[in-house]
Amino acid sequence: MDESGPSTEITAEPAAESPTYAAVGDRVAGILEAAEQAAEKIRQEARQHASELERQGRIEAERLNKELTEDARNLRTEAEEYARDMRLAVEAYATQHRRQAEEEARTIVADAERQSAGTKEAAEEMARQVEAEVKNRQEKLRAEVRMLEQRKRDAIERLREIEALVQDVLPRREGAGAMVSDLKPERQVAPSDS
């Protein structure tokens, strides 16, 4: 009895199916690699976006703070100049008008100081709002990054499940590299002429 006949049939079937297993393995590896690359790219973009938003928020808050502080300083300077002018004008008047003019000058200075304080408070409030917005944006971006990382973990888990299913379908052999050898096509044994 020629044993090469049945042996050829047994090795012929795995040889025909081996390209399918190899393709599945390549696809699974490709999917895993693409998922990891996409997740890393998304994380990098999210980090860059968060850093940019934080940087812009700091710059805008600093600009607003400087601008409003400068405005308050200018208002105070103008008020002080106005008060000095008023005092000089009052001294030119007669004694009876002096008290009235001085009181008016004090009122103007007090109003200017109140206005300056109000402007400064408004600037500080605006800076707090900008900081709160930046923090909210950062939290949203962090949440989005966490969600994307979870999606990546889910995708990897699904791919591992697919890998396990593929390994369950492949014939099992003992030893290291068994799966690799299962995925390689086997040579067909030609029937002997003798």
Nearest to 57 by CA among 105, 115, 119, 128: 128
Which residues 6+ apart lie within 8 Å of 58 measured at CB? 134
42-49, Cβ contacts within 8 angstroms, sequence gap of 24 or more: 42/145, 42/148, 43/145, 43/148, 43/149, 46/141, 46/144, 46/145, 46/148, 47/145, 49/141
Residue written as token pair 């106005």:
82
Provide, for the chain, the percentages of residues in helix, strand and coil under a 3-state DSSP scheme, each rounded to the nearest 5. 90, 0, 10
pLDDT at res. 194: 47
Structure tokens at 12: 């012929």
Distance CA 188, CA 182 (A): 15
Show pLDDT as tens, one digit a residue, over the chain (194 residues): 444 444 444 444 444 445 687 788 888 888 989 889 988 999 999 899 989 989 998 998 899 888 889 888 888 898 888 888 777 766 766 676 767 778 888 898 889 888 888 888 888 888 899 889 999 999 999 999 999 999 999 999 999 999 888 888 876 665 545 555 555 555 555 555 54
pLDDT of amino acid 158? 94
Please report, to the nearest 10 degrees, the dihedral formed by the alpha carbons of residues 173, 174, 179, 182 taken in order: -30
Model pLDDT, residue 157: 94
Give the pLDDT score at 25.
Answer: 83
pLDDT at 97: 73
Q: Where are the domains of the chain?
A: 16-183
Instruction: Report the half-sphere exposure of 108 (CA within 13 A, side-chain side).
Output: 19
Predicted confidence at residue 173, as pLDDT, reads 60
